[in-house]
Amino acid sequence: MASTSVVEVKCSKCKNAYEADVIDHIDLSEDRDLIKPLKSGKANRVQCPKCKKVMYLDRSIVLNFEPENVIVVFDKKARTTAAKESLMEDYRNVVSFNEILSEVAEETEFTIITKLDKLKVMLDDYLKAHK
């Protein structure tokens, strides 16, 4: 099951503030049903309870491509070198937390993707390899 969190959203139409569940992390070996919304860019869909306006939140999502030992952060906003380096530093901080995580990191490819087209290719390749 995908890992989610609750965030506050402000409706772009009526300005109503509300809480919504959003996806933070997906393990593709367990959450294959989320591949289609990922490919369409609609993974974090929210709807205002007041006016019913639908919005798609641009948030980073961590994807585990198991069993390939690949972790991808998909973040459309991380286009600058500084933004990518900040995400890499966060990753390094997490995996340096203990010896087990450090060992896993040595065997895992970590990458940051900012373009939906590139993510689509990776997801299509994953689906072909794991029918």
Supply the pLDDT for residue 44: 94
Q: Is residue 12 part of a domain?
A: no
48 assigned to some structural domain: no
The residue-averaged pLDDT of 19-31 equals 95
Task: Say if residue 92's pLDDT is above 90.
Answer: no
Task: Name the average pLDDT for the chain.
Answer: 92
Please determine, for residue 58, whether its predicted confidence score (pLDDT) is greater than 90.
no
Percent of the chain exceeding pLDDT 70 equals 99
Least confident of 33-42, 59-68, 95-104, 117-126: 95-104
Residue 4 has a pLDDT of: 95
Assess if residue 17 is contained within a domain: no
Task: Kindly state whether residue 35 falls inside one of the protein's structural domains.
Answer: yes
Is 11 a member of any domain? no
Core vs surface per residue 31-43: b (16+ CB within 10 A) or e: beebbeebbeeeb
Which residues form the domain of 65? 24-43+58-129
In a domain, 118, yes or no: yes
So what's the pLDDT on residue 38?
94
Look up the pTM and report it: 0.86
- The reported pLDDT for the residue numbered 1 is 67
Compute the chain's Rg from CA coordinates: 16
Tell me whether residue 73 is in a domain: yes
3-state secondary structure of 74: strand
- Structural domains of the chain, count: 1
- Token pair recorded at residue 118: 């590139």
Among candidate residues 90, 85, 27, 26, the one with its CA nearest the CA of residue 61 = 26
| Residue 89: pLDDT over 70 | yes
- Quote the strand ranges of the chain, DSSP E: 3-10, 17-27, 45-47, 54-56, 61-65, 70-74, 109-113
Tell me what the mean pLDDT of segment 87-111 comes to. Answer: 85
